Amino acid sequence: MQKQCCLHCTTSVLIIVIIILQRSLLLKEALLLHKLWCLIFQLLLPTATQYTSKALLSFSTRSLTQLTSPLPHTRTHPARVVSSPHPNWRSNWPLTMNLCLCPHPSVKITELNLTADLSFQPTAGLLFEVHNSSITVNFQRRILYWFFYDEGPINASAEGVNIHTALDLAKDEFGRLKISNVTCGASIAKMRAKFGGTLGYWTPYLNKTFPHHICPSLNHAALVLINQLLETIPVRAEVDKYVGIDYSLLSDPVVTGTSLDMDFRGMFYDLQNEKDTLVNYAVNPVVREYDRMIYLALSEYFFDSGLYSYFKGGVFRMHISNDRMPKDLEMLLRTTYFGAIMMLNPALMEAPISLELEVTSAPTSTIKTSGASVAVHSGVRVLALPPGKAPVQLSSMTMESKFNAKVSMRGKRLSIHLDLRRFKIFSNQSALESLALIPLQAPLKTMLQITVVPLINNYTKRGVRIPLPDGIDFIEEVVEYHNGYIIVGANLHFRSGLKELIERKQSVNGK
């Protein structure tokens, strides 16, 4: 309903604003024309982004059926959006509302019949059409231009309104989505605008000029205002002080009759050495579902590049000692290495025992239909810490562990929860010592589950932001696991309308 109201008000108010502008009777209202057309694009933007790639994000045409969430500054009259790939909106009812974009804040739409189609246009982009629509509106005007002052009522109506707009989508030089071209055609079969007061004699002339102003205004809204908003979507950003992420598009969007796909890089990188990245050998994700508004597909490369970047950044190192060392584990380590301690220095018997863990190679992820897992190979050193002296190594081990990984989406952030599944340790010195380490398997696994894994999950639960505009979040997420990639299906929640986002950006740039 909110979308209906925005589009209905745009059509009616735009008629009056252009009539007044034709004779240069308003100055500040000259900017209103472009803002009014931004309301139309509140219908376009949510379905104008469907991503595809090694990390893949996909929007379906059925996303249009979900666009009924209230938006700020829109009307709250009930409405229904027809559930079809090419939804139509029709309405014919009286309403009174306040509209800040009008020359006067009180506008009354006495009759409205609007039929609009929004669809994907193969090989191009989006197609927005208004067919044989009509509207009747009236409000009070007040005009002050130098020494000229005029006020009075305006009664305007239009019949047989037809607008055909095709938006071509492409990527810019930075890998962002942009509207590269707008093809527009507009016609009005019959239009009447009656001015009361001084301007009444201009009515016949102004009625003929209005249709010629629709497409230039729409072109400006798309090529300038919408593109300015798309420029705010981050395609390369820092995740934390160690790594960044690259969401830049690899190619122009691919449009089919049911979806709009964009192939983006989906790659992490080390902030200290951005050129040191993995080669991508992962399978390409494939999205075959269209029940939800958006589908985000992420290949194993997406996760492997993140693990590789953190490994290169030196994050996977940990020192467990003192209060972080469980007392029963410390006692077991002291007993296990009693002979080594006595041979090295009997005075070390009372020294605290510590563990030093360091990942020796970049962890790797595996995604199957049964779930996702992460394999980690680490080196473990057992150290004695005599007071005031350098640490003394008692032994070194190799640790192989496998974690189950559960992927989830909250808002605009993708997060991972890890759970230790398998754990093995081997001695780096002899097979005989490996046998002696068997009693340490269970205590070390418990120590990892209690001490290490919670620290990792506390970090990974912060998540990574997915590139959507401000004011749009994921809701009703569902995660599906496939061989080599995962797919997150979700609907979209709009906290702000497109008009609010554009005005917010303009206010920030104006400061």
Domain boundaries, the chain: 2-233
Give, in order, the Cα–Cα distances in Å from 228 to each of 191, 264, 431, 498: 33, 20, 65, 12
- Give the whole-angstrom CA distance, residue 403 versus residue 182: 50
- pLDDT higher than 60, residue 382: yes
Which has the minimum average pLDDT: 16-20, 149-153, 459-463?
A: 16-20
Region at 235 (left for phi over 0; alpha for psi -120 to 50; beta for the rest): alpha
pLDDT (0 to 100) of residue 300: 93
pLDDT for 100 equals: 27
Is pLDDT at 83 greater than 70 in this prediction? no
Kindly tell me if the per-residue pLDDT of 76 is higher than 90: no
User: Which tokens hold the place of 163?
Assistant: 């607008």
pLDDT range class, residue 77, cuts 50, 70, 90: very low
Q: What is the DSSP string of 370-436?
A: TEEEEEEEEEEEEEE--TTS--EEEEEEEEEEEEEEEEEEEBTEEEEEEEEEEEEEEESS-HHHHHH
Please, is 358 exposed, middle or buried when counting C-beta atoms within 10 Å of its C-beta (0-12, 13-18, 19+)? middle
With a cut of 60, say whether residue 285 has pLDDT above it: yes
Phi-psi region of 314 (alpha: psi -120 to 50; beta: other; left: phi over 0): left
pLDDT of 470 over the 80 cut: no
**Alpha carbon of 244 to those of 53, 307, 327: distances in Å?**
18, 12, 39
Task: Please tell me the pTM assigned to this model.
Answer: 0.69
Query: How does residue 434 score in pLDDT terms, banded at 50, 70 and 90?
Result: confident
Instruction: Name residue 271's amino acid.
Output: L
| Most confident segment among 68-82, 211-225, 364-378, 443-457 | 364-378
Count of positions (residues) in the chain: 511
Nearest alpha-carbon partner for 434 in 400, 402, 403: 400
Higher pLDDT residue, 377 or 104? 377
Using CA atoms, how far apart are residues 496 and 46, in angstroms rounded to an integer?
11
Q: So what's the pLDDT on residue 56? A: 57
The structure tokens listed for 209 are 């000029």
- Count other Cβ atoms within 10 Å, centred on residue 46: 23
pLDDT at 466: 82
Say yes or no to pLDDT of 386 above 80: yes
Q: What is the mean pLDDT of residues 36-62?
A: 41
Please name the amino acid found at residue 216.
P
Strand residue runs (E) in 275-352: 294-299, 317-320
Report whether pLDDT(425) > 80: yes
| Contacts for 318 with CB less than 8 Å, ≥ 6 apart | 356, 357, 358, 452, 455
pLDDT (0 to 100) of residue 377: 93
pLDDT for position 223: 87
How many Cα atoms within 13 Å fall on the side-chain side of residue 471? 22
Q: Are 115 and 93 in contact (CB under 8 A)?
A: no
Q: Is the pLDDT of residue 359 over 80?
A: yes
CA-to-CA dists, residue 368 to 52, 409, 410, angstroms:
20, 19, 22
Task: Give 228's pLDDT tier (boundaries 50, 70, 90).
Answer: confident
Predicted local distance difference test score (pLDDT) of residue 302: 92
Residues forming a β-bridge with 479: 488
Sign of CA dihedral 435, 436, 437, 442: positive
Residue 431 has pLDDT above 80, yes or no: no
Arithmetic mean of pLDDT over the chain: 72
> In this predicted structure, what is the pLDDT of residue 260?
83
- Taking residues 475-483, what's their average pLDDT? 91
Count CA within 13 A, CB hemisphere, residue 442: 3
Residue percentage of the chain with pLDDT more than 70: 70
Question: Which of 81-85, 116-120, 149-153: highest mean pLDDT?
Answer: 116-120
CB 172 within 8 A of CB 178: yes
Residue 34 three-state SS: helix
Q: Which residue has the tokens 């902030």?
A: 271
Does residue 403 have a pLDDT over 90? Answer: yes
CB 373 within 8 A of CB 406: no
Identity of the highest mean pLDDT range in 64-68, 226-230, 249-253: 249-253
Nearest to 372 by CA among 247, 239, 243, 480: 480
Tell me the CA distances in angstroms from 20 to 145, 205, 215, one per residue in order. 12, 11, 17
